[in-house]
Homo-oligomer: A and B are copies of this chain.
Amino acid sequence: MNKPEKKAVIRAGTTVEQMVRAIADLIITGSLEPGEKMDEGSLASRFEVSRTPVREALRELCAMGLVDRQPNKRAVVTNVSGGALNSMFEAMAELEGICARLSAERMTVAERKHLEEMHQASSRIVRASADEDYAAYNIEFHTQLYRGAHNDHILELVTQTRARLSPFRRAQFRLEGRLAKSWREHDEIVTAILRGDALAAGKSAYEHVSIVSEASATFARPGVPA
């Protein structure tokens, strides 16, 4: 039948969805820092909506782990303790390991080809020392791994964990030489996957993330009890 799209419009979605995206953005980009208090009224007037959708958005963000809420108190941007940060990075390493392992076993020919092409192309970014570009590419690269595992639930868990971690690793590629090192680690992962070596792929990915975690720790916000 090929029925015409009901709306060719850009689908802005409900107010709540917009608020979730908007506030999450503020948090992830650091405009709102971990620990910062947010009150519903201010957010409501800031975005020119009523408090109702703001409340619901905050609840979702809380479920996502980006904000903490307690009854009758103001919401605060989640500030994870050193211990919690470690546990999240460890979980991330485990999840990435799983994804790489499964990717080695399950990626389609097309996916393998795409992964390899992206990876090879990215070496130009490294040579140019283009931090911002590499950060963007890096997200793409890891997303490929998550999808390659062909498991929607694991994809969800890893995406969720990654989002939650993002406010705490903004500066990860600022470290001296981290770019080239990251590429070499990616190379190890890609090679293992293309070889179909699940164990090696998993191990390399696990270690890759563990190293990122150490790099991020360098930039961890102080004043938080471990």
Contact = CB atoms under 8 A, between A and B. Distances in A.
Interface of A: 13-14, 17, 52, 55-56, 59-60, 63-64, 71, 83-84, 87-88, 90-91, 94, 98, 151-154, 157, 161
Contacts of A14: 71
B87 A98 contact: no
A154 B56 contact: no
Contacts of A154: 87, 90-91, 94
B87 A152 contact: yes
B161 A153 contact: yes
A55 B161 CA distance: 26
Contacts of A52: 52
A61 B226 CA distance: 31
Q: Which 5 A-B pairs have the closest CB atoms?
A: A63-B63, A91-B153, A87-B153, A87-B151, A88-B153
A71 B13 contact: yes
5 contacts: A59-B60, A59-B63, A84-B152, A91-B154, A153-B161
A52 B98 CA distance: 40
Nearest to A72: B14
A60 B65 CA distance: 12
Given A17-B71, A91-B153, A91-B154, 7 more contacts: A59-B63, A60-B63, A63-B63, A83-B152, A88-B153, A90-B151, A157-B157
A92 B92 CA distance: 16
A157 B91 contact: yes
A55 B56 CA distance: 8
Contacts of A161: 153, 157
A6 B214 CA distance: 42
A128 B91 CA distance: 39
